[in-house]
Chain A
Amino acid sequence: MYSVIEKVIFLQDIDVFKEVRIEDLTHLAVIAEEVRFLSGATLYETNDSADSLFLVIQGKIRLHRDDQEIGVVGNREAMGTWALFDNQPRVATATALEETEVLRITKEDFYDLLSDHVRIAEAVLRSLSRRLRSLTELVKPGL
């Protein structure tokens, strides 16, 4: 069982929360639920509705479509960030490669939180716009 302050330490590394004040991360820490998956367990499957963000605390998760591997998510890495912002289904299946501990934030809890904490919403928007700008910069040279 992790304390709030430990969860804050994990959450501060997630890109979309980089602009959130560290003190405000405590609110996110409260809604971040610890979940443990045994080796081989499936976190979600392709075309499932995307309703949560996951942050791996310890362990490894394989992302794949059928047998085709897309990538492996390890310690302190997040997956499903965009699930918080759109209603698209999962594009891959996530399977634990070993016993894995994750923090899960559900979309419902996340929006509840944003409606009460405008400052967090502002910071998340700043992160998203920063990411959008950097993508635009990448596209520019090819234009």
Chain B
Amino acid sequence: MKVRLFEKSIDLRPGELKRVAIMSAYIFVVVASYNVLKPMTRSLFVSNLGLEQLPVLYMVLALVAGVFVALYLRISRRLKLDLLIKSSTLFLIATLLGQRWLLSLQIDSPVLYYVLFIWASIYGVLTTTQFWLLTNYVFNVREAKRIFPILTASGLLGGILGGYCTRILVTVLGGTSNLAFFCVGLLSVAFVLIDQAWKNRDISLETARRGQASQDASRSVGLSGDMFASIRGSRHVLCLVAIVALTYMAVQIADFQFIAFASRQMSDTDSLTGFLGFWLSNLSIAALLFQVVFANTILQRFGVGMTILFLPVALALSSTWVFLGFGLTSILALKVGDGAFRHSINKVGIELLFLPVPTELKRKAKGFIDMFVDRFARGLAGLVLLVFYTGLGFTISEISLLVLGITIVWIGLAIVINKEYVNSFRLAIAKRRIDYDEIPVSIKDEATINSLLLSLASRNERQVVYALRILTSVQGVDLKPPLEPLLRHKSANVRYHTLQAVYAHKLKGLLPSVQPLIRDENTDVRREAVSFYVEFSEQAPETLIRKGLAADDRHLRGGTLQYVASQPHLAKHYITPEVLETFLQGDCSSRTEAAQALGHPGISNAKAYLRQLLQDPDQTVRQTAVASIGQIHAAEFLPDLVESLADRSLRKAARAALANLGEEILPELVATLSDQKVAPAVRMEIPRSLALLGTQESVEALLEKLDGADDTLRYRIIKALNRLRTNYSDLKFDTRVDRVLLEETKMYYQTLAYFHLAESTNSQQERDGRNLLQRSLQERLDDHLERIFRLLGLRYPPKDIYNAFAATTSATRSVRVNAVEFLDNTLSKDHKSLLLPVVDDLPIDQVLQKADGLIDVNVRTQKDLILDLLKGNDSWLQACALYQTWVCGLTEELRDEVVAAQQAKDAIVRETAGLVLERSANQADEA
């Protein structure tokens, strides 16, 4: 009971407490250790090398950190996340001990201090990045929005502790270098916490995360021309990127001033370490206090426009103060301004300004900022300091003028960007361009909220749902009046999302309006309504649940069952065999409710019930049972799921369930794909199921199975590879694709040669037969061309190749010419020589000349053509060729082949051979 009260007080749902505790402790120790290392390495650097080296260090750091991040990303794609984080943590512990050892040797080399400083910066980036990566595996999107503020606060508390500890421990442990031992202790605790977090992660998120992680990775990899072009094309984004760059520059220069001031006050390393640690903690406290006390009020009262001006104005004012009166108070004002505003309202303001930007462009811009702007701006700050401080001899107070200049430009840009924001946001809502799952902050800005509230009155159901989903994360607004009428909305989807918003905002006052919805026709609405009712009603939850499960009204019973099933701690107690039997004995909607409930963990004997439901006569019940099997990762159902692929009504659910089982099932799927005894309807579905796994192993397996696959399976495999390429852009498609591409192109040319022969040498007298063969060959050419472009899509950007394919097959000549031009500029030399003749508007003769050497040139006559087709393994073309023997009067010359075809496996081939022989005999008789 006490635990529940505690959970409620910090807005946690049942089952979240353990995960939140682990992750909070993890970020706490990680940030604490970094806040010990940060002052430690800074003081070591400045005490031993002097302030003059700092600008150079900033530039070196920008370069080295860039290389490190690229390397880390490359390694991270090859390792599983838990292995990556654990091994990185062990590596960091080893480097901490190594650092302590190096310092004990008392080597007086500048390189050592450079290395230590850079290493500490990388330590900070690495530990926090890994923490957020792991967080994405531990919490789902909806949990994340509620829980992230708790984690951020834990991080800030860790920062405060780390800084204060530094001051105390530097004396207790006997010097700055011994602080490394303290950090080793903290990281060892972190290692245990990582292990616990991984064990308690939400496994069901993994499949979805794989795709996301892959997109994240691709977002961070490389700076492409496409990225620059997209950013240049949007004034709004360009302004945002410029603001972020100016922020990093100003902050870096202000940090330099702070260190300079501190190094002048403290003569020895240990005192300087203590001083930096102490003030780092004080600044963290200022940031925390500001975030808790003022941030919400500022955002609600002033809106985005004013919010993003707080940081530059504060920096401008404090810089002026530093210039006019350089001292502890003024320099602290500069740092407090930075500490208080940058990670709170300024961060939120920038995120809000990113909201109206289309998702794809936003990803590119953020990737650009992470990969380039951050480091470039800090490096540039180093260069500016090198010129003005080291070169021109500016004093520390005069350097404030540089910060002032930067902030003035920054303020100008902030004013420009704010003018466009509200209109852009309204437009983005109307076009549903904002991805609500990607909104990283709580929206508090009044103008933004008003736009969303207006959308709630829209006649367009999708727009209402869209606004509701965004409003779920809004804070500080009374949503009761606008949400109340939506609980009676005619659309179940709107009612469902309204209930979610009502729940998120804990609008207890709406309980009377929610009550009727516990008998709603829609399952999801009922579940949400029961969930809200049990949570906020005055009656004891136990009583409500028992009453609900025993109710005569089947809707109320179903809603209660779904709610209880979704809460593992309740499911264990309330979903007894007796309760389940009442549903299993009921009509098909009751059985569907049971099947759906069994998709949640914590129900005893669930697998036996699911096996029973798989045999249910009702299709919906079977579909739901298949989906539930996937949700509870019941791998023992693999053969049943594979078999379900043949059933059109179960196929979609079976594919999703197989994907949920994860990559462990890959060997079984590959074996099924190779097994000729398995029904073709099942085998044809395996490639798509493999594609849903989204791993490099699935790519390898599919590439391997391309060899020897018939045309239909080959097409399915290539299509599956295309899905993998599009959805998981970090997967590798190596030169094996080129080999397949070469084969496919050869087949295209060969078919084109057949087509040309059928067209050019045929007599006009038998139009039907000629049309049949030509049309069939034309269709084969179309198939080859599609497969060629699909294969190209594995080696080049898929979207570009798709557009080129669509243009290539256009009826408009100018569009085709543009496509050829595009391919000419895009394809590699080898691909160009192979493929350009295929798409170029050339007479067939000339195309075939260019294909010389790739195809069999011995096919020159109608007889050669027919013989070749009869020898091939395409049974439809064989039938067409047989018919052609009669059409062209070649039956006697090819009599042996036609007779042999009567024994073919394919029924149409056998029938056509018989027909041709019979017709020829009749003709002979008539003659």
Contacts from A to B (Cβ < 8 Å): 3-6, 8-9, 12, 21-23, 26, 115
Q: Could you give 21 example pairs across A and B, Cβ below 8 Å?
A: A3-B914, A3-B915, A4-B912, A5-B772, A5-B880, A5-B883, A5-B915, A6-B915, A9-B768, A9-B769, A9-B771, A9-B772, A12-B772, A12-B775, A21-B779, A22-B772, A22-B775, A22-B776, A26-B876, A26-B908, A115-B648
* Contact partners of B759 in chain A: CB under 8 A: none
A39 CA to B21 CA in the complex, in Å?
A: 90
* Contact partners of A9 in chain B: CB under 8 A: 768-769, 771-772
Name B747-781 residues within 8 Å CB distance of A.
768-769, 771-772, 775-776, 779
Among A4, A8, A26, A115, the most chain B Cβ lie within 10 Å of the Cβ of: A8
- Contact, CB under 8 Å: A5 / B879: yes
* Contact partners of B769 in chain A: CB under 8 A: 9
Contact of B779 among A3, A5, A23 (CB under 8 A): A23
**Chain A: which residue is nearest B648 at the CB level?**
A115
- Contact, CB under 8 Å: A5 / B776: no
Instruction: Decide yes or no whether B521 CB sits under 8 A from chain A.
Output: no
**Chain A: which residue is nearest B769 at the CB level?**
A9
A12 CA to B915 CA in the complex, in Å?
A: 20
- Contact, CB under 8 Å: A5 / B775: no
**Chain A: which residue is nearest B914 at the CB level?**
A3
**Contact indicator per residue, chain B 530-552, by CB within 8 Å of chain A (1) or not (0):** 00000000000000000000000
Instruction: Decide yes or no whether B911 CB sits under 8 A from chain A.
Output: yes
CB distance from B426 to the nearest CB of A (A): 34
- Contact, CB under 8 Å: B775 / A3: no
* Contact partners of A26 in chain B: CB under 8 A: 876, 908
A111 CA to B915 CA in the complex, in Å?
A: 29
**Chain B: which residue is nearest A4 at the CB level?**
B908
A22 CA to B782 CA in the complex, in Å?
A: 13
CB distance from A47 to the nearest CB of B (A): 36
A4 CA to B772 CA in the complex, in Å?
A: 12
- Contact, CB under 8 Å: A4 / B911: yes
A4 CA to B775 CA in the complex, in Å?
A: 16
* Contact partners of B772 in chain A: CB under 8 A: 5, 8-9, 12, 22
Chain A interface helix/strand/loop/mixed: helix
* Contact partners of A12 in chain B: CB under 8 A: 771-772, 775
- Contact, CB under 8 Å: B876 / A3: no
- Contact, CB under 8 Å: B771 / A3: no
A114 CA to B912 CA in the complex, in Å?
A: 25
Contact of B776 among A3, A4, A6, A23 (CB under 8 A): A23
* Contact partners of B880 in chain A: CB under 8 A: 5
* Contact partners of A21 in chain B: CB under 8 A: 779
Q: Which 7 A-B pairs have the closest CB atoms?
A: A3-B915, A23-B876, A9-B768, A22-B775, A5-B912, A3-B911, A22-B776
A3 CA to B919 CA in the complex, in Å?
A: 12
* Residues of B in contact, count (CB < 8 Å): 17
**Chain A: which residue is nearest B777 at the CB level?**
A22
Q: A4-B908, A21-B779, A22-B772 are in contact. List 6 more A-B contacts (CB 8 A).
A: A3-B915, A5-B908, A12-B772, A22-B775, A22-B779, A26-B876
Name B862-899 residues within 8 Å CB distance of A.
876, 879-880, 883
* Contact partners of B771 in chain A: CB under 8 A: 9, 12
* Contact partners of B779 in chain A: CB under 8 A: 21-23
CB distance from A120 to the nearest CB of B (A): 14
CB distance from B553 to the nearest CB of A (A): 37
CB distance from A13 to the nearest CB of B (A): 10
**Chain A: which residue is nearest B911 at the CB level?**
A3
Name B591-612 residues within 8 Å CB distance of A.
none
* Contact partners of B908 in chain A: CB under 8 A: 4-5, 26
* Contact partners of B768 in chain A: CB under 8 A: 9
CB distance from A130 to the nearest CB of B (A): 13
* Contact partners of A22 in chain B: CB under 8 A: 772, 775-776, 779
A6 CA to B886 CA in the complex, in Å?
A: 12
A21 CA to B772 CA in the complex, in Å?
A: 11
* Contact partners of B775 in chain A: CB under 8 A: 12, 22
A22 CA to B768 CA in the complex, in Å?
A: 12
CB distance from B768 to the nearest CB of A (A): 5
CB distance from B721 to the nearest CB of A (A): 20
* Contact partners of B914 in chain A: CB under 8 A: 3
A49 CA to B908 CA in the complex, in Å?
A: 34
A120 CA to B648 CA in the complex, in Å?
A: 16
A115 CA to B771 CA in the complex, in Å?
A: 28
A6 CA to B915 CA in the complex, in Å?
A: 10
A22 CA to B877 CA in the complex, in Å?
A: 11
A4 CA to B648 CA in the complex, in Å?
A: 27
A6 CA to B876 CA in the complex, in Å?
A: 13
* Contact partners of B911 in chain A: CB under 8 A: 3-5
A23 CA to B909 CA in the complex, in Å?
A: 12
* Contact partners of B876 in chain A: CB under 8 A: 23, 26
* Contact partners of B776 in chain A: CB under 8 A: 22-23
CB distance from B371 to the nearest CB of A (A): 43
* Contact partners of A8 in chain B: CB under 8 A: 772
**Chain B: which residue is nearest A1 at the CB level?**
B915
**Chain A: which residue is nearest B773 at the CB level?**
A22
A4 CA to B910 CA in the complex, in Å?
A: 11
A18 CA to B772 CA in the complex, in Å?
A: 13
A8 CA to B912 CA in the complex, in Å?
A: 12
A132 CA to B861 CA in the complex, in Å?
A: 43
**Chain B: which residue is nearest A9 at the CB level?**
B768
* Contact partners of B879 in chain A: CB under 8 A: 5
A15 CA to B776 CA in the complex, in Å?
A: 18
A6 CA to B779 CA in the complex, in Å?
A: 19
CB distance from B645 to the nearest CB of A (A): 15
**Chain A: which residue is nearest B875 at the CB level?**
A23
CB distance from A17 to the nearest CB of B (A): 12
**Chain A: which residue is nearest B767 at the CB level?**
A9
A26 CA to B908 CA in the complex, in Å?
A: 9
A4 CA to B911 CA in the complex, in Å?
A: 8
A3 CA to B914 CA in the complex, in Å?
A: 10
CB distance from B775 to the nearest CB of A (A): 5
A92 CA to B919 CA in the complex, in Å?
A: 38
CB distance from A39 to the nearest CB of B (A): 26
**Chain A: which residue is nearest B876 at the CB level?**
A23
CB distance from A21 to the nearest CB of B (A): 5
A9 CA to B915 CA in the complex, in Å?
A: 14
**Contact indicator per residue, chain B 904-926, by CB within 8 Å of chain A (1) or not (0):** 00001001101100000000000
A5 CA to B772 CA in the complex, in Å?
A: 9
* Contact partners of A6 in chain B: CB under 8 A: 915
* Contact partners of A5 in chain B: CB under 8 A: 772, 879-880, 883, 908, 911-912, 915
* Contact partners of A23 in chain B: CB under 8 A: 776, 779, 876
CB distance from B517 to the nearest CB of A (A): 37
A29 CA to B879 CA in the complex, in Å?
A: 14
* Contact partners of B915 in chain A: CB under 8 A: 3, 5-6
* Contact partners of A115 in chain B: CB under 8 A: 648
CB distance from B569 to the nearest CB of A (A): 45
* Contact partners of A3 in chain B: CB under 8 A: 911-912, 914-915
A23 CA to B912 CA in the complex, in Å?
A: 14
Name B765-803 residues within 8 Å CB distance of A.
768-769, 771-772, 775-776, 779
Among A5, A12, A21, A115, the most chain B Cβ lie within 10 Å of the Cβ of: A5
**Chain A: which residue is nearest B768 at the CB level?**
A9
A12 CA to B908 CA in the complex, in Å?
A: 17
A6 CA to B914 CA in the complex, in Å?
A: 13
**Contact indicator per residue, chain B 475-503, by CB within 8 Å of chain A (1) or not (0):** 00000000000000000000000000000
A12 CA to B771 CA in the complex, in Å?
A: 10
A115 CA to B648 CA in the complex, in Å?
A: 9
A46 CA to B915 CA in the complex, in Å?
A: 39
**Chain B: which residue is nearest A10 at the CB level?**
B768
A6 CA to B908 CA in the complex, in Å?
A: 11
CB distance from B679 to the nearest CB of A (A): 13
A12 CA to B776 CA in the complex, in Å?
A: 12
A8 CA to B879 CA in the complex, in Å?
A: 12
CB distance from B619 to the nearest CB of A (A): 13
CB distance from A132 to the nearest CB of B (A): 19
